[in-house]
């Protein structure tokens, strides 16, 4: 438990009854959660090792209610922790004792879909998959697909600028977001963007995306929807050496091919996933690639033929081009179950650094050394096209000290990502998890500039204030 929370404001804690009474006047009784038992459901998120009981939880149903709650909290100096579905892996939605949680999960309607303009206007509490489901009857989908897409909200996706397995072709949230309705700290409601492209002034929409709930509450969003490809099919390659898999990725891209997905798994990940999903993965290789391409049948055949030819010189030990829907599903089932399958064999923390892909063999070797030096194991899954690594550092919660060792190993891995020219987080966000590592990637001036921008929206550090920026060295209002 090495991550600290700021000391709660005693004066605010003492005013809890008064604050709850104030909130009661603003929302319906069922929208306000005050009992300890019910609040407990909100004390953590996907980073379950850390938890904090909030003062209260409020689940508004409209932008007007969010505005009223924000105005009240601003006037009363109450901190606000925004929450979507609470799936953050970096603790982005973990509360604080002197804060209320403002959850947008009840605001989950589709407001408008325009297929001619290829936009969907939704309330921010809708799930990521909910958007795709709402437009699938016309063959459309919403592209960014984080693996929590069944549960996570578009509000959370915007806060974290979430990615997914298909960003090499379709981009991440910020590339697929056209507009938001944003409630500022003092309750003011602003519209940023709309259903058109690009901004007429400063790109505030781009700033909001990935700001981790520190600048305002997003209550509605206009997102770009796309017509799905006619079909998609993966091929699976197994390699005896990590270097060969890395070089094969470089060669595919070098040949002018941008597969819609390009996933890498190392030996421990292959074994764990195969034992769980029986996907037909090769157990005798050091590295595996799943390469997926899209298009009509003949386009897919042509593209996979090219990719197989490119892979040839790297002597894949296994080569399986999916021939059917069932085979495609099996190939993906293994990869998509990586987190769940690992959870069956060990406790783990999932890291999320990005590296320049050319550094892959070196970084994987170093990760192995780092994790071994703490006496732990690691399984690596990796979005190979864009360099986003997900090392799963495995430990046993019941062995005292192991979780701390896993956290330390994770930190060392992230430092390594920065050292080789990458970054601390590719798609999960900083949250509390990587907050204290920010100084590895940014110097004082870089961070101060970010904090001054943050201060334009929230000078008194009331909005999700325990996150992103190291607690020491913060700029005062």
Partner 1 sequence: MTLLTPRDEQDASSIILDAAAKGTLLSLSGNGTKAAMGRPNQTDASISSAALSGVTLYEPAELVISARSGTPVSEVVRTLAEKGQELPFEPMDYRPLLGSRGEPTIGAVAAMNISGPRRIMAGAARDSLIGVRFVNGRGEAIKSGGRVMKNVTGLDLVKLMSGSWGTLGFLTEVTFKVLPKPERMSTLLMRGLDDRAAIEALSQALGSPFDITGAAHLPSPDRQGARTLIRLEGFRLSVDYRLNELRRLLPGFEAADILEGRGADALWQSVRDAAVLSGNGERAIWRVSTAPTRGPDLAAHVARAIDAQWFYDWGGGLVWISTSVNGDAGASAIRSATLAFGGHATLVRAPAEIRAQVDVFEPQADPVMALTRGIKASFDPAGILNPGRMYAGL
Q: How far is the CB of 284 from partner 1 (least distance, A)?
A: 27
- 147 lies in the site for partner 1, by CB under 8 A: no
Residues near 141 by beta carbon (within 8 Å), at least 6 away in sequence: 132, 135, 225, 226, 228
Q: C-alpha angle with apex 282: 278 to 284, nearest 5 degrees?
A: 130
Angle between helices 16-24 and 63-75 in degrees, nearest 10: 150
Among positions 257-296, residues that touch partner 1 (CB under 8 A) are 257-258, 295-296
- 298 lies in the site for partner 1, by CB under 8 A: yes
How many chain residues touch partner 1 (CB under 8 A)? 93
Q: How far is the CB of 118 from partner 1 (least distance, A)?
A: 6
Among positions 398-457, residues that touch partner 1 (CB under 8 A) are 421-430, 434, 438, 441-442, 445-450, 452-457
Q: Judged by CB under 8 A, which stretch of 23-31, 41-49, 170-178, 392-400 contacts partner 1?
A: 170-178
- 471 lies in the site for partner 1, by CB under 8 A: no
Task: Mark 347-366 with x for binding to partner 1 (rule: CB under 8 A) and - for no binding.
Answer: -------xxxxx--------
Q: How far is CA 407 from CA 37, 183, 416, in A?
A: 29, 35, 14
Q: How far is the CB of 436 from partner 1 (least distance, A)?
A: 13
Closest CA to 423 of 410, 440, 406, 448: 440
Name the burial class of residue 248, with classes exposed (0-12), middle (13-18) and buried (19+) by CB atoms within 10 angstroms of its CB: buried
Among positions 177-196, residues that touch partner 1 (CB under 8 A) are 184, 188, 190-192, 194-196
Among positions 299-328, residues that touch partner 1 (CB under 8 A) are 299, 302-303
Other CB atoms within 10 A of residue 408 CB: 16
Dihedrals phi, psi of 402, to nearest 5 degrees? -70, -40
Which residue in 7, 28, 48, 115 binds partner 1 (CB under 8 A)?
115
Q: How far is the CB of 87 from partner 1 (least distance, A)?
A: 15
Q: How far is the CB of 184 from partner 1 (least distance, A)?
A: 7
Q: How far is CA 67 from CA 54, 64, 71, 187, 468, in A?
A: 20, 5, 6, 4, 24
Q: How far is the CB of 270 from partner 1 (least distance, A)?
A: 23
Name the burial class of residue 5, with classes exposed (0-12), middle (13-18) and buried (19+) by CB atoms within 10 angstroms of its CB: middle
Which residue in 52, 88, 105, 211 binds partner 1 (CB under 8 A)?
211
């Amino acid at each position: 438990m090495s991550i600290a929370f700021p000391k709660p404001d005693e004066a605010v804690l003492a005013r809890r009854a008064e604050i709850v009474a104030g909130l009661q006047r603003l929302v319906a009784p069922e929208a306000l959660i005050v009992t300890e038992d019910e609040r407990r459901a909100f004390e953590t998120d996907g980073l379950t090792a850390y938890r904090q009981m909030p003062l209260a939880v409020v689940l508004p149903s409209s932008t007007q209610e969010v505005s009223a709650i924000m105005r009240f909290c601003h006037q009363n100096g109450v901190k606000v922790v925004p929450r979507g579905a609470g799936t953050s892996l970096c603790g982005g939605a973990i509360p604080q004792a002197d804060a209320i949680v403002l959850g947008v999960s009840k605001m989950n309607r589709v407001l408008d879909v325009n297929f001619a303009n290829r936009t969907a206007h939704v309330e921010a509490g809708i799930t990521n998959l909910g958007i795709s489901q709402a437009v699938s009857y016309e063959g459309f989908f919403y592209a960014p697909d984080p693996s929590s897409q069944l549960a996570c909200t578009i509000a959370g996706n915007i806060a974290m600028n979430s990615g997914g397995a298909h960003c090499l072709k379709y981009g991440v949230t910020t590339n697929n977001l056209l507009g938001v309705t944003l409630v500022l700290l003092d309750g003011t409601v602003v519209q940023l963007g709309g259903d058109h492209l690009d901004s007429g002034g400063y790109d505030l929409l781009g700033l909001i995306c990935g700001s981790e709930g520190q600048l305002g509450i997003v209550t509605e969003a206009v997102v770009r929807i796309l017509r799905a490809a006619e079909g998609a099919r993966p091929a699976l390659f197994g390699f005896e050496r990590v270097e060969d898999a890395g070089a094969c990725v470089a060669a595919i891209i070098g040949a002018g091919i941008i597969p819609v997905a390009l996933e890498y798994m190392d030996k421990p990940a292959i074994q764990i996933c195969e034992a769980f999903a029986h996907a037909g993965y090769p157990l005798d290789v050091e590295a595996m690639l799943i390469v997926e391409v899209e298009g009509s049948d003949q386009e897919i055949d042509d593209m996979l033929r090219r990719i197989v030819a490119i892979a040839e010189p790297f002597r894949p030990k296994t080569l399986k081009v999916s021939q059917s829907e069932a085979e495609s599903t099996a190939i993906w089932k293994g990869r998509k179950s990586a987190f769940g399958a690992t959870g069956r064999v060990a406790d783990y923390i999932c890291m999320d650094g990005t590296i320049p892909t050319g550094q892959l063999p070196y970084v994987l070797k170093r990760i192995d050394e780092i994790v071994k030096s703490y006496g732990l194991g690691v399984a690596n899954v990796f979005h190979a096209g864009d360099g986003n690594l997900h090392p799963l550092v495995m430990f046993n919660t019941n062995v005292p000290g192991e979780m701390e060792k896993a956290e330390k190993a994770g930190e060392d891995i992230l430092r390594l990502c920065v050292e080789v020219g990458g970054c601390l987080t590719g798609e999960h966000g900083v949250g509390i998890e990587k907050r204290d590592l920010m100084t590895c990637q940014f110097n004082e001036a870089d961070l101060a500039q970010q904090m001054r921008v943050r201060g334009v929206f929230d000078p008194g550090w009331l909005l999700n204030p325990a996150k992103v920026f190291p607690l020491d060295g913060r700029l005062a209002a």
